[in-house]
Amino acid sequence: MTQNIAVLDFGSQYTQVIARRVRECKVFSKIYRYDVSPEILKRDNICGVIFSGGPASVLSDGSPRPNKAIFEMGVPVLGICYGIQLLAHMLGGEVGKGVAREYGKGMLTVTDKDCVLLKNLPEKSQVWNSHGDKLVKLPDGFKAVAVTENSEFAVIENVKRHFYGMQFHPEVMHTEKGMDILKNFLYEVCLCKGDWSMASFVETTVDNIRKTVGDKNVILALSGGVDSSVAAVLIQKAIGDQLTCVFVDHGLLRLNEREKVEAMYRDHFKIKLITVDAESRFLKELAGVTDPEQKRKIIGREFITVFENEVKNVGHVDFLGQGTIYPDVIESIPIDGNPAAMIKSHHNVGGLPERMKLKLLEPLRELFKDEVRAVGAELGMPRHVLWRHPFPGPGLAVRCLGEIRKEYLDILRKADDIFIEELYSNGLYYDVWQAFAVFLPVRTVGVMGDERTYDYVIALRAVNSTDAMTADWSQLPHDFLGKVSTRIINEVRGVNRVVLDISSKPPATIEWE
């Protein structure tokens, strides 16, 4: 069983970053609620525990605490920021409230060169702090091994019990030697083997899928996006034709999208793929509807109905395959004003598993997005599939403002295709996070040749983002934008004006509806 480092979440904004950094060091890591039981950790084969930072003060009533029995498990513990204060407070030291707050950059000086956690670190290096409370007295058995300007206990250790703590954040990039410290914890303290790789993941997951599914059948709604596509290829590798993928063409797709999906998954990956032409059904239901929420609701409802009908045609099916990934399932913990608790659920086929009594098969649910891409690469999937820009479930419906008409969609498809094609051919596609065209049902006056025109407007949207929560508009070269505009106006009948969206999120959103 793969070795696992447990990251206990005390509400830090960096909890996911810690788990990702550990995995980058080739050690598997999972995030747990701060009060997880030692039994669960034992079941999950943990070989070390990291306490995340967090916004609370250990001195406040009701501040989150780990189960004390974790200290008796005999596994190494690393406390980061709030985590070091927990170690000190729960093991008999003393924490002072708001004494000498440290925020931002600091200089770490190693005072004990024999400390394995700081092995090979230079005497001085930059670290990133963000804490109000501070350790004032160490618990018995601990000693300080490094200091910063404001803290004589910047790094502490209890060699006998393998407990370590640090006031600063090793997981953030501004801590120069943060990765070295984490590696030392993993390899020198926890004695990890480094057995986490995408190749080993594929091997064990293929095995697990075979055992779980047996001779039963799996259905999967393939969207062509990264997550559902990697899930499909992985499940197909495990069980071949016991997997059927359904791709619904709701008429709101980009130019030639259905054909491209068929070529990639049916012809190249040999996946049993059903494509459903449901364009007329969707467009009929959407006719005359202008309210964005209403449009989304209709599309969601129709999608489920169409998909459900197809499932019935496939015969007996026991499992629903889904491309759920780790950020979709991590529960965020509300601590001291942190965002409300929410468990995001995968939305494509909401409610379907319960209604059709299907079991879920989610082979990617423990992977971060970059790992999903690495698995795809391991499975031989091409770069343009794995690094495709995100595309919303309701498709072009949210980019064709107001009422949806086929005539509008056709204009949008052509304009969008020119924009994307030019991004590729100018080597810019992978520099932007998401790019697309938007159809504005507004007619403006223009001249073409000797004639006056009265045609529609296309807006270009390109953004850079990391998680879609915030985004900046991409500063594409002017000559590139000029070329795209000229091509769209010349080649797409019905368009005589192209505009550029230069709003950031927030306050705008990425999509227009």
Closer to ligand XMP at the Cβ: 314 or 500? 500
Closer to ligand XMP at the Cβ: 160 or 466? 466
Angle at 287 between CA 284 and CA 290, to 5 degrees: 145
How far, in Å, CA of 362 to CA of 321, rounded?
6
How far, in Å, CA of 438 to CA of 477, rounded?
20
Within residues 460-479, the interface with ligand XMP by CB under 6 A covers 468
Assess whether 169 carries a catalytic annotation.
Answer: yes
Kindly write out the interface string for residues 477-506 of this chain, putting x where it contacts ligand XMP by CB under 6 A and - elsewhere: ----------------------------x-
CB of 390 to ligand XMP, least distance (A): 4
CB of 98 to ligand XMP, least distance (A): 37
How far, in Å, CA of 432 to CA of 418, rounded?
16
CB of 220 to ligand XMP, least distance (A): 16
Assess whether 24 carries a catalytic annotation.
Answer: no
CB of 502 to ligand XMP, least distance (A): 15
With contact defined as beta carbons under 8 Å apart, do 126 and 107 qualify? Answer: yes
Note whether 402 binds ligand XMP by CB under 6 A: no
Note whether 350 binds ligand XMP by CB under 6 A: no
Kindly write out the interface string for residues 131-170 of this chain, putting x where it contacts ligand XMP by CB under 6 A and - elsewhere: ----------------------------------------
Look at residues 219, 229, 227, 309 and name the one whose alpha carbon lies nearest to residue 261.
Answer: 229
Catalytic residue among 89, 131, 162, 169: 169
Assess whether 190 carries a catalytic annotation.
Answer: no
Closer to ligand XMP at the Cβ: 158 or 348? 348
Q: Which two structure tokens, joined as six digits, stand for 114? A: 């024999």
Note whether 510 binds ligand XMP by CB under 6 A: yes
How far, in Å, CA of 332 to CA of 342, rounded?
6
Angle at 227 between CA 295 and CA 426, to 5 degrees: 85
Look at residues 67, 362, 38 and name the one whose alpha carbon lies nearest to residue 231.
Answer: 362
Closer to ligand XMP at the Cβ: 142 or 368? 368
CB of 328 to ligand XMP, least distance (A): 11
How far, in Å, CA of 178 to CA of 168, rounded?
9
Closer to ligand XMP at the Cβ: 308 or 511? 511
What residues contact 284, with CB distance under 8 A and at least 6 apart? none
How far, in Å, CA of 84 to CA of 138, rounded?
10
Q: How many other CB atoms are there within 10 angstroms of residue 140's CB atom?
A: 8
- Which residue in the set 394, 414, 458, 484 belongs to the binding site for ligand XMP (CB under 6 A)? 394
Note whether 395 binds ligand XMP by CB under 6 A: no
Angle at 199 between CA 236 and CA 348, to 5 degrees: 45
CB of 397 to ligand XMP, least distance (A): 9
With contact defined as beta carbons under 8 Å apart, do 361 and 218 qualify? Answer: yes
CB of 344 to ligand XMP, least distance (A): 12
Look at residues 20, 15, 97 and name the one whose alpha carbon lies nearest to residue 53.
Answer: 15
Within residues 403-462, the interface with ligand XMP by CB under 6 A covers 434
Note whether 351 binds ligand XMP by CB under 6 A: no
Closer to ligand XMP at the Cβ: 445 or 468? 468
For residue 506, whether the previous peptide bond is cis, meaning omega lies within 30 degrees of 0, is yes
Closer to ligand XMP at the Cβ: 322 or 434? 434
Note whether 292 binds ligand XMP by CB under 6 A: no
CB of 457 to ligand XMP, least distance (A): 19
What residues contact 461, with CB distance under 8 A and at least 6 apart? 434, 435, 436, 437, 438, 473, 501, 510, 512
Note whether 33 binds ligand XMP by CB under 6 A: no
With contact defined as beta carbons under 8 Å apart, do 335 and 11 qualify? Answer: yes
Catalytic residue among 157, 171, 378, 422: 171
- Which residue in the set 96, 292, 393, 441 belongs to the binding site for ligand XMP (CB under 6 A)? 393
With contact defined as beta carbons under 8 Å apart, do 203 and 375 qualify? Answer: no
With contact defined as beta carbons under 8 Å apart, do 330 and 31 qualify? Answer: yes
Catalytic residue among 47, 81, 190, 400: 81
Closer to ligand XMP at the Cβ: 37 or 509? 509
Three-state secondary-structure class, residue 16: helix
Within residues 353-392, the interface with ligand XMP by CB under 6 A covers 390, 392
Q: Would you name the residues annotated as active-site residues? A: 81, 169, 171
Residues that bind ligand XMP (CB under 6 A): 390, 392-394, 434, 468, 505, 509-511
